[in-house]
Structure 1
Amino acid sequence: MKFVRYGAQGAEKPGLVDATGAIRDLSGHISDLSGASIDPDALAKLASVDPASLPLVSSDERLGACVAGTGKFICIGLNYSDHAAETGATVPPEPIIFMKATSAISGPNDDLLIPRGSEKTDWEVELGIVIGRKAKYVSEAEALDYVAGYCTIHDVSERAFQTERSGQWTKGKSCDTFGPTGPWLVTKDEVPDPQDLRLWLKVNGETMQDGTTKTMVYGVAYLVSYLSQFMSLQPGDIISTGTPPGVGMGMKPPRYLKPGDVIELGIDGLGSQRQTARADA
């Protein structure tokens, strides 16, 4: 199943994507896509709901982030062997973990704000894992039992803030709108192999990234298990799993986003995003 959240920012409602691609209002069954409602068993029960019985939602409605109540937005760095090579970095012996502020989360088609003082705002399409139930000290074999589903993530990065301003990566990853999420939360049954998904990203119609999750160094199940050894993972937490090659900083010469640029990105089966970059006020 594919779930969405639609409506004005801060007032989104839950929705279901029917077989025709239309959105149906789910607010008569759940209050939002958060907490207990995204437990894998709870999502499975919604399969018994006849989409035709749900109110149709206008196609003009704004789409919000596909999950609410995110407490942690956890990112994995240098998790594609071919991306590490393009940046001249060595593949790490254990996953690189950093946090993106939850205030960076935005809808998949909202404007992307280039922050004040930015000269190196960069793009990164990534597979997102949405946690559906509390996970703590889980094994790799059981890790997927704790996953609600998957989504498309744009892990926008300001490279100068990230690597040239001292300290940790977080401040280069957490600017407002630097975490477009969705459009869909896609349940696990529709993603039989998360390690066989194509990811792509275009800027102004030009393909920049065209990769596959096959080249991830640390796979989905491993990452959920690994992270759960250090912190409990809670329903609504997002894990952004790294990006394939083709980012702006890896180009010769490097290329970065500027106001007016249009960024389109997506993952096979998980939906696409479209943002227009503009300068933050």
Structure 2
Amino acid sequence: MDIPARVAAFRAAGENRYGLVTDAGIIDLTPEFGMRFKDLQQIVEAGALEALIAAGQGRSPGWRQEDVEFLIPIARPEKLICIGVNFPDRNAEYKDGQAQPTRPSLFIRFPRSFTGHGGNLIRPRESGQLDYEGEVAIVIGKAGRRIAPEHAYDHIAALTLCNEGTIRDWVRHAKFNVTQGKNWDSSGSLGPWLVPFRDASQLDDISLTTRVNGEVRQSDRTSNMMFDFRYIVNYISTFCTLVPGDVIVCGTPSGAGARFDPPIWLKPGDVIEVEAEGIGLLRNGVADE
């Protein structure tokens, strides 16, 4: 697969910026587009992602990747919706005797619960049960309500990756929700960049892998998802209007730390890598609050 265009939000020289990522570095396009668009979210909302990419072609990088702080690509989404238990093996991990679900489980995360590529996931003082979940995330580029599955891909602007970090004991505090275990500040990550969505082959059957300290913990293909990306867009848009900049995190394979016996929780010094074919690699460390 060809190397896709990659657009990142980053901080350098004391300012938030955005630009085109190449193997040689980052082409800063903030000077050209910054008067019109504050951040990548406004770029996506205006449908200007392809124009931004075109403007960076043939230019020389001004920043090395190792010299910048990567930010989460979409800083202020109206909605950040996550899909729970979306791979058959993941459903079997629960060992609760329940059949494969016929509708997806959904929950909400707040942007502050994520850090960018290269940052540390934060283990809070209240719990040692910080866990990882590698996932593909889609970014909505065209508003819609009751979007038919066959038109769902017309509404996706870009793809990114998510480590949907979770404080496991806190998701079990109540019977009908997981919100309090999913929204600790900087407990997860998004990034490292946006890849423009142009073709169904970018989503329908790609590999998704999570490694902890180089050890493969999760590995599956999106073709095995119980609820595919078209269905997810259709289902969510049935009850709420999706708008440009909305982020949907689409489910994790089996192999999270909670499912080992005994469980293997993340600890300071660990390095987690979430990698998906054609999207990239999201890498984070772990630190105590």
* Offset of residue 166 of structure 1: 4.7
Q: Name structure 2 gaps, 5 residues minimum.
A: none
CA contact (8 A) 2:7 2:53 kept: no
* Offset of residue 47 of structure 1: 4.4
CA contact (8 A) 1:201 1:207 kept: yes
Structure 2: distance between partners of 1:182 and 1:61: 14
Structure 2: distance between partners of 1:107 and 1:74: 18
Aligned to 2:17: 13
Higher mean C-alpha displacement, 248-257 vs 84-93: 84-93
CA contact (8 A) 1:39 1:148 kept: no
Aligned to 1:261: 270
Q: Deviations over 1:215-271 (max 9, x none)?
A: 110111110111011111122111000101111111122211122222222112211
Normalising to structure 2: TM-score of the pair? Answer: 0.89
Structure 2: distance between partners of 1:9 and 1:77: 38
CA contact (8 A) 1:26 1:54 kept: no
Matched, 1:42 2:42: no
* Change in CA separation of 1:235 and 1:74 when aligned onto 2, cut-off 3 Å: same
* Offset of residue 198 of structure 1: 1.1
Aligned to 1:3: 7
Matched, 1:81 2:85: no
Corresponding residue to 1:105 among 107, 111, 114: 114
Aligned to 1:202: 211
Q: Deviations over 1:26-64 (max 9, x none)?
A: 1112432113x2158422333432423365223311111
- Aligned-partner residue type, residue 123 of structure 2: I
* Offset of residue 147 of structure 1: 0.8
Corresponding residue to 2:28 among 3, 17, 25: 25
Q: How many residues align?
A: 278
Matched, 1:176 2:180: no
Q: What is the CA RMSD across the aligned residues, in angstroms?
A: 2.1
Normalising to structure 1: TM-score of the pair? Answer: 0.91
Q: Name structure 1 gaps, 5 residues minimum.
A: none
Structure 2: distance between partners of 1:146 and 1:239: 12
Higher mean C-alpha displacement, 101-110 vs 150-159: 101-110
Matches within 5 A, 1:40-189: 41-53=47-59, 56-59=62-65, 60-89=67-96, 90-189=99-198
CA contact (8 A) 1:195 1:214 kept: yes
Structure 1: distance between partners of 2:159 and 2:24: 18
- Aligned-partner residue type, residue 88 of structure 2: S
Structure 2: distance between partners of 1:115 and 1:141: 43
Structure 2: distance between partners of 1:16 and 1:191: 23
* Offset of residue 5 of structure 1: 0.6
